[in-house]
Amino acid sequence: MSQTLLVSACLLGLLTRYDGQSKTNPKVLDYLQRHDLTPIPVCPEQLAGLSTPRPLTFFAAGSGPEVLDGSGKIVNTDRADMNNVFIKGAEQTLQIARLVGCKDALLKDGSPSCGVHRICRNGTRTAGQGITTALLQRSGLHTFSEEDL
């Protein structure tokens, strides 16, 4: 029986991104096949109840760890506070990881939820982690992005 791997759904070709598109990544699909891994697709933003498509969301202050600690802020293009929604999505993603026994997560870099190495803060790409990535790491999961493959 193959191991499970939590994977950002957009990387697998599912139309889950904020703009209703996917970010299908052949390297991800190849990695799953080569390592005999069963992907567990997740989209934290959809799990939080957000629609697809949905307004673009970005960090106004801090990044994932700071949002979890209460000092960061994530907003959408309407400047609505999205902290609680994105935390809910992160918690739902963690619950799925625990239900299926995932120890690792392959996540979409640059995403406000799934960013592993970088995020967008006020229109600028910068080093940082998404909210889901930060929660998964705090809970003992190993996270990596498609850029690490």
- What are 64-75's pLDDT values in tens digits? 999 999 999 999
* Phi, psi dihedrals of residue 99, rounded to the nearest 5°: -60, -35
Tell me what pLDDT residue 63 has: 98
Establish if 72 belongs to a structural domain. Answer: no
Share of the chain above pLDDT 70, in %: 99
The mean predicted confidence, pLDDT, of the chain is 97
Separation of alpha carbons 117 and 130, rounded Å: 9
Separation of alpha carbons 133 and 142, rounded Å: 9
Average pLDDT score over residue span 50-78: 97
Tell me what pLDDT residue 1 has: 60
Establish if 31 belongs to a structural domain. Answer: yes
Average pLDDT score over residue span 13-18: 97
Establish if 29 belongs to a structural domain. Answer: yes
Establish if 20 belongs to a structural domain. Answer: yes
Number of domains making up the chain = 1
Residue numbers of the domain that contains 7: 3-55+84-116+131-148
Separation of alpha carbons 141 and 131, rounded Å: 14
Tell me what pLDDT residue 6 has: 98
Tell me what pLDDT residue 2 has: 77
Establish if 97 belongs to a structural domain. Answer: yes
Unique residue bearing structure tokens 């990881």: 97
Region for residue 6 given its phi and psi (left: phi exceeds 0; alpha: psi -120 to 50; beta: otherwise): beta
CATH of the domain at 36: 3.40.50
Establish if 107 belongs to a structural domain. Answer: yes
Q: Write down the pTM of the prediction.
A: 0.97
- What are 31-49's pLDDT values in tens digits? 999 999 999 999 999 999 9
**Band of residue 77 on the pLDDT scale cut at 50, 70, 90:** very high
